[in-house]
Amino acid sequence: MNVAFVGLGAIGLPMAVQIQRAGHRVIGIELAEASRARAAVEGVAAVADWRALIECDVVVVMVATPTQLAALVSQCDGLRAGQHWIIMSTVGPASVREQAQRLQAQGVQVVDAPVTGGVARALTGSLLIFASGSAEAVAHCEPVLQAMGEVKNAGVQVGDGQAIKVVNQHLCAVHLVAAAEALSLARSLGLQPEQVLELVEKGAGGSWMLSDRGPRMLEGTDTRVTSMVDIFVKDSGLVAEAAQACQAAVPLLDTAHARFKAAAAAGLGQRDDSRVIETWR
């Protein structure tokens, strides 16, 4: 297929690379010149002009925020009826449904397919993909989706995938903050956090977030960035908004969201999300 990939950031670029390696023709669309340069190094052609997507069979969208998604859809007019858009950004159910309606008014088919697994799994094409939409639209897009990871049927309504991602991000946010608090507690007890991490991560209190983020929590502010604090400010905020919309109580999420906002306010927004541990110092 001819595929346009919008958003060649830290996770978007390896996803686009996997699609290209699967034999599809990929054109990247990315506003940041530095990101286009990184794409060129990986062999992915990229431009800044959205009009490069008009003649493509499939458009994959991996922008960062609901505002960016709305801006993209707003400028895209004259789209080809029958084109398929796969919205893989974490933008929440309300956003994806609103933008899907605007796209569908132009005859575009929309698949809501947020992902989990982060940069590490994007690099290996092993993301977990929550795909929702009509069976026909999902089936049409499967050759592209399967290049990026394992596709799970999340429902027939656009927005169902985002709703599942909301639950996923609730757990991620809470587990990440819990891991930071636990390692901070270990330090306050006079223990060596490195030793504590090694001993407890395989026990009943362990979690994927503890094992993945824990080592970076102990490396210091300048540890490598795989997912920024600002992303979790956004994602935990989307969870809070979705919970409020359905009147669900999420006190643990509220606490985690406050910690990520505190980290961003402390100047850590562009740092790795593991730096939320610094809010305990």
User: Is residue 273 pLDDT above 90, yes or no?
Assistant: yes
CA angle at 128 for the pair 96 and 7, rounded to the nearest 5°: 50
Q: What is the pLDDT of residues 124-133, one digit of tens each?
A: 999 999 999 9
Mean pLDDT to the nearest integer, 264-272: 97
Can you give the pLDDT at residue 118?
A: 86
Q: Which residues pair with 130 in a beta bridge?
A: 152
Percent of the chain's residues with pLDDT above 70: 100
Binned at pLDDT 50, 70 and 90, residue 254 comes out as very high
Q: What is the pLDDT of residues 133-189, one digit of tens each?
A: 999 999 999 999 999 999 999 999 999 999 999 999 999 999 999 999 999 999 999
Is residue 165 annotated as a catalytic residue, yes or no?
yes
Can you give the pLDDT at residue 112?
A: 98
Write the CA distances from 15 to 60, 78, 121, integer angstroms: 10, 27, 9
User: Is residue 281 pLDDT above 90, yes or no?
Assistant: no
Q: What is the pLDDT of residues 210-245, one digit of tens each?
A: 999 999 999 999 999 988 999 999 999 999 999 999
pTM of the entire predicted model: 0.91
Half-sphere exposure of 152 (CA within 13 A, CB side): 14
The phi-psi region of residue 220 (left if phi > 0; otherwise alpha if psi is between -120 and 50; otherwise beta) is left
Residue 192: both structure tokens together: 């060596």
Residues 165, 202, 234, 261: which is the catalytic one? 165
User: Is residue 120 pLDDT above 90, yes or no?
Assistant: no
Mean pLDDT to the nearest integer, 7-30: 97
How far apart are alpha carbons 170 and 240 in whole angstroms? 9
DSSP assignment of 180-206 equals HHHHHHHHHTT--HHHHHHHHTTSTT-
Q: What is the pLDDT of residues 175-203, one digit of tens each?
A: 999 999 999 999 999 999 999 999 999 99
Can you give the pLDDT at residue 252?
A: 98
Domains in the chain, please, with CATH?
A: 2-157 (3.40.50.720), 163-280 (1.10.1040.10)
Strand 149-155 to strand 84-87: parallel, antiparallel, or no bridges (unpaired)? unpaired
